[in-house]
Structure 1
Amino acid sequence: MNLDLEPEDRKFRDEVRAFLDASLTPELREVGRHATSVFTEKRHSTPWQRILHAKGWVAPSWPVEYGGTGWNEMRRYIFTAECARAGAPNLAPMGLKMVGPVIMKFGTPEQKAHYLPRILSGEDYWCQGYSEPGAGSDLASLQMKAVADGDDYVLNGSKIWTTHAQWATHMFCLVRTSTEGKPQAGITFLLLPMDLPGITVEPIITLAGEHEVNQVFFDNVRVPQSGRVGEENQGWTVAKHLLEFERGGGASPGLRATIERLREVARLETADGERLIDDPRFRMKLVDAEIAVQAVEVSEHRVLSALSAGKNPGAVSSLLKTQGTEAMQRLDEVGIEAAAHYAAVAQPVDVGAGRNFPLIGPEHLLALTARYLNNRAASIYGGSNEIQRDIVAKLVLGL
């Protein structure tokens, strides 16, 4: 596994850096600097998506025939790393990274022609209808019913923890179309617009004080059967394909950028008259967290090496999900210690032009507590870390 960049890759890295330096406005950089989760508010992510779309770089992992870049694994990694280094805001992942690849693999020609260009441009903004009040990590136990009626399905039930449903124009959704046989056998994958009669979105305010997730209620909602992806009762196969993208790698560039931010915070903050960066105890915690990030980087480079050789990395996506979320949470804990008493201050982490409230404490400490609280869920969503370890134990260790 050779981790050195080839000359053409170094040239590409320099091209990406030049583009980011020229294209990231001060407001977009501030948005990236104060991000508290992997999701950026629609009002901030959409302008950045339009810039990338105009450049042709909005979907690095998509095939060229669908509007992607055609980059190899290394170039995609370089692009991700440079975006993290520059502080670019994250794009909404539900369309570009999740349902887009599903439509490419399982969608009809009509679905591909309609949805894929709109996902690239950001015209359609997606949310994910998977979890329910009684079906989270045990997703196969979902109960929201879809009953066939003519050319439609009639939906009744609810979805919960639905990120950005308050802004979404569309949802990709798992519904129960049969109760016979194994629970996985009666699930169907649907695409639906969020403005259908009978859909109600209720906000859920997180511990961080943010409106990121929601509960969505369906009361006799009629969804055309033309929105079905794959065959009826075969949605579990489609869902498993999507989870490969939700649990995939690419975390280490963001983690590396977080370390650099925390190192800068440690240079600016003091305890007992001494800079935190000069405190051996604090410095040891930061170094321990950096070692965890290096382990994630090595795992991701192994995946890059396998993919570049045409191999399937297998259950390593579950390994990376576990490694990445635990390293991120360790960094969050270091950040809370650096913030000290300012970590207990409740204030909105508003970003961008137009902030109309005074900050309590230094700006570089503003997002640390919200980020810590938000990221506690990272080891649960997308399949809990306990489930990821079970997958690794079964598929890798044969237990």
Structure 2
Amino acid sequence: MFTGKQLIYTSLILFNFISCQNSEVASSKEVNVESSNQIIGSDDRAETTGRLNKEIVKKVGQIRTEIVNPSTGVATVNTCSGTLINDSYIITAAHCAFKAETEDLLQNSFFYPGLTNKNKPKYGRFPIERVYYPKDYSNISHYPDEDIAIMKLGLDSQGRSAGKRVGTAGYWGRSSLPDGKTLTIGYPGDKPDGQQYFQENCEIDQASDKRLDIYCDVISGQSGSPILVYSEKYGNSYIHGVITGEDRYKSVNYGSFLTDERGKIAQAIFSGTFSEDNDFIEKWVSKEMKHESIINVLIKNNCSSKEALIAFDYKNHKTDSWEAKGFYTLKPGETIRFFQTKNGVLYLHARDRNRNVIIDGEHTRNVPGSGRFDMKRYRIKKWGDFNIEVPCY
């Protein structure tokens, strides 16, 4: 059907299907890929930056979920890919909503549209509040036909919807996969974290009414990546499914197809008329994705040419004690989530490399190993992201 790598393959062995959700240690610079997801032949993926139309790039984003092991305190980050198809909804793989190999939903998941550098989220991040997926989907078996989901996003810290920031991608619900040039975009775990990659013109076949056989290169982290096909008639690429995983014994990867009925289900979700008791043949369910009542403190260096040095004092909600830390380097244009707290008061001091003070205040706090510094006090009135911007001195 499509131009691309020509392969000879045998019958499908579904019980060897592996999902493509990526998990990495949060503090690690290297990504540890846990499954044997496949590069078919040579690696044909390329970084999107400067290569693809930014109108497409910014609508595809990364789903990031930090999970802290309660016994060890070690944080891991689960990552997937997704695409905005409505102001407040993304399409992705169903297993991206679950803890690995369980039927338990993740918590504290965020969507970062158009992310090309995890420390410079140009378009912000949006909490995932609800997930819709086929009732027959099981996160234990990962059967690829049902591994598709729509997720509802909340507003960012400034009260904006994701679609208002970056726009939305076109999608079609069809009974069969159309001919056309193919495109996938996502966040592979074998590449630098938070960098977006794409592949064009790889072969995709419709294996059943709900499953796609994909001969594109797929690695953990690319789950939920859109499968796009270009329409000559409309001069645009449209989403026809999402990447779900691969078969460990065959040179093929898998996708879940956006059928005609699934397109109608999506419309019902967007219009607020969706019900688990609707008349659709394929039944879908809806579940809330919870977020802890915590404050995420993100600090951005607004200067494009100078580093900023950051020190802060905050109340650690896990130890219930105040902790002063610093100085940390914030690179030009960089945004970092420095800490989480449940306390509505925190203190901050910022300076440049020449010791010129950028942010201070009336409150003197001791920073272990550095001394005492005047800090600005911030009062926070609601849960969620709290953004502090460091101006250019």
Point out the structure with the larger helix share.
1
TM-score bracket for the superposition, by shorter chain length: under 0.3
- Relative to the length of structure 1, the TM-score reads 0.24
- Relative to the length of structure 2, the TM-score reads 0.25
Point out the structure with the larger strand share.
2
